[in-house]
Structure 1
Amino acid sequence: MTMQHPAFAKGHVAVVTGAASGIGLAAAREFARLGLCVVLADLEGDRLEAACQEVRALAAGGEADVVAIATDVSRPDQVESLERAVIQRFGRVHILMNNAGIQPGSSLFGPQANWDSVLAVNLMGVIYGTRTFGPNMMSHKDPALIINTGSKQGITTPPGDPAYNVSKAGVKAFTEALQHELRNTQGCRVTAHLLIPGFVYTALTANGRTEKPAGAWTPEQTVEFMMRSIERGDFYILCPDNDVDRATDERRIAWAAGDIIENRPPLSRWHPDHADAARDFIAKRD
């Protein structure tokens, strides 16, 4: 039987960005149920306040254990203010979940504003959060976790939303470098983890739908899988969903890497000369 990671001890402190909805809110609720003090960070507004009240209702200490701090993670000064406020209130941070993300859509030669905002939130928000909170998390010597939310789109990079893909590919590369740095720092008790959700029904993915599609997981299922993966010590938290199992994800990832090894055209899975071979390869089970 696996044991809960020691960072999730009662009274420890978790900071979650993008906590007003979706995976971030589901994580904040789970952390509160475990007895942690929880800081919900998101853009200022009614959604953040409602999320805070919801999480407080689950926390043993209620208002004393849960606080919402309005933060734009694309602004390094606001991320620094967030860290100062958390340290002042709770003393130290044991779990940092850099989860805030946006997906307004993009095209290669489309509006620059879409590229700027996606990269600022999805990639730089993760970098700012890690670089701001990381040093104090390392120095207090308690077991601690940095969980960065990536995406399968940052690994297989399907056509259709290049700015989002670039941002999530950057999160993958950054988090891999982070874990290498942490494991090679003497006495460090912080580990990094890359959360790679499957199809999750959230405000980000709803696209006007009011009911969860059958193929999607709920945010709660995703967080449950995340917790089990962290208990095992996984770095890559590759989540399935109701449509795509792990074996299919593995074959898709292997095919994408094969484009380089086999010198195929990029994104050959969607190339007319290679699509049939890709489909057959992905469908194959050893």
Structure 2
Amino acid sequence: MKRSRLVCIVVAAICLLASLQGVAAMSLKLEPLSPGQGVTTASVASASLASASANDNYPVSVDQAKNNIRVFMGDLSLEPVLTTTGSLPIGNYYYFTAGNSSFEVNQNSGAVEFAHFGDNTQNAEDIVLTSNQAYADATTYAGAKFADFSTRNWKLVVDRVDTQYEYYFNPSTGNWDYYTVIAYNFVFREQKDNVLLPSLVHVSVNAKTGSVIDYWGVDRLLTVSDLQGSVPLSDAVKTAENYFGGDFASTEGHREVIIQPQNFERLVWVVSLTGNHGDMYTAIVDANDGTFVGTHWDNDIWPVYWLRYYL
């Protein structure tokens, strides 16, 4: 499938919200890849699969992606099924399922960058592990799956325990039932000179069994050379305040490198504003020219949106 013919179908935020249920929300929502304009969603999915299987011109073929999943899982007998293809700001992906697990494989690098293990959401209604034990499980898993994890300069930006619900259809009653899933969530962001970078690792750990529920492992080459920028935080705050309007009780900000489609890196200020009634807002402002880039609700900004929306 020729890259020049790929177009993204915009999915409304309300549709995204409706599609997320319980811990399954950790499996990222991909924008579908279309072989051409004027194609219905169902046709897009069918044509996308056929093209990926027969005429894909990405460096990594479907068969290679399947083998990479087998190596990732340490199970050469695994038979992943290609379900769809899609895109994120950081690249294009094959989406596979195998039983109750799902895998998203980067079509250019072949890396398994996102994985969700549905079976590991079972038996997760109690907290048995301590935070330190869960952290040890998470870092051990990350060290086994992410190259050079132990030598990178990481900042732990998410460290908490969450209670969520996994919904399923009960055919005996005809009702939708659910079970409780308690998990420790850890997110490590790579950093340089106190600036957060796009590369990150996320591991979600079953709080009772220690099994890994979700894994994200995104490794990107830094192409931004100037990590200071020319716009001071005070100017970025003014831009954010002007965009949202009103008075704010407190403001804070930090620099990070974001990625926008496709793989365009940009140094920005991420400005957090807290209103007088506790309401919170986030604005992203270019750290070099001061222009307003977007908010944490804009899904073309990696990883700000994805960490706020999915975690």
Name the TM tier (shorter chain).
under 0.3
Higher helix fraction (1 or 2): 1
Normalised by the length of structure 1, the TM-score is: 0.27
Normalised by the length of structure 2, the TM-score is: 0.26
Higher strand fraction (1 or 2): 2
The answer to which structure, 1 or 2, has the higher relative contact order (CA under 8 A, 6+ apart) is: 1
